[in-house]
Amino acid sequence: MSIDRIGKSVGAAATPGAVAPDAVAGAEPFQVDRAANVGAAQGVTPLERLQTGEIDLNQYLDLRIQQATSHLEGKLSAERLSFIRESLRAQLETDPMLVELVSKAAGPAFEKPSHGG
């Protein structure tokens, strides 16, 4: 006697996941409007705004620094948080590896950033 029913013929109705044909009769097919749902769920990212020309590279970098340090708001003094943000911005403008990463992310919108945004 086999426990897992290997080697035995099994009807379609007994197959796991099988649905009887009359169970789906008249049912509408499931459809998703992917573009509408993704846009509504995620919103427009700073990178997308940069790529469409809505913002320039300086504004993009400021937004990303703001996002990266937002968890520190209320935990550090305004002066200290400002120092951290300015330090990050300076590194993004001068560190060759970071400049390269920014240029790859920005694509055609890249031109060496100038602080002042």
pLDDT at 13: 52
Examine residue 7 and state whether it is found in any structural domain, yes or no.
Answer: no
Taking 60 as the threshold, does the pLDDT of residue 113 lie above it? no
- Higher-pLDDT residue of 22 and 100 is 100
pLDDT tens-place string over residues 28-87: 666 655 554 444 446 789 988 988 889 998 999 999 999 999 999 999 999 999 999 999
Long-range contact list for 87-93, CB < 8 A, 24+ apart? Answer: 89/61, 89/62, 89/65, 89/115, 90/115, 92/61, 92/65
Examine residue 88 and state whether it is found in any structural domain, yes or no.
Answer: yes
Examine residue 110 and state whether it is found in any structural domain, yes or no.
Answer: yes
pLDDT tens-place string over residues 11-21: 555 555 555 55
Examine residue 94 and state whether it is found in any structural domain, yes or no.
Answer: yes
pLDDT at 4: 65
Examine residue 35 and state whether it is found in any structural domain, yes or no.
Answer: no
pLDDT at 83: 97
User: Directed axis angle between helix 57-69 and helix 78-94, to 10°?
Assistant: 130
pLDDT at 90: 94
What is the span of the domain harbouring residue 105?
Answer: 47-117
Note the pTM of the prediction, 2 decimals.
Answer: 0.55
Taking 80 as the threshold, does the pLDDT of residue 5 lie above it? no
- Higher-pLDDT residue of 24 and 46 is 46
Examine residue 52 and state whether it is found in any structural domain, yes or no.
Answer: yes
Examine residue 24 and state whether it is found in any structural domain, yes or no.
Answer: no
pLDDT at 32: 57
Examine residue 84 and state whether it is found in any structural domain, yes or no.
Answer: yes
Number of independent structural domains in the chain = 1
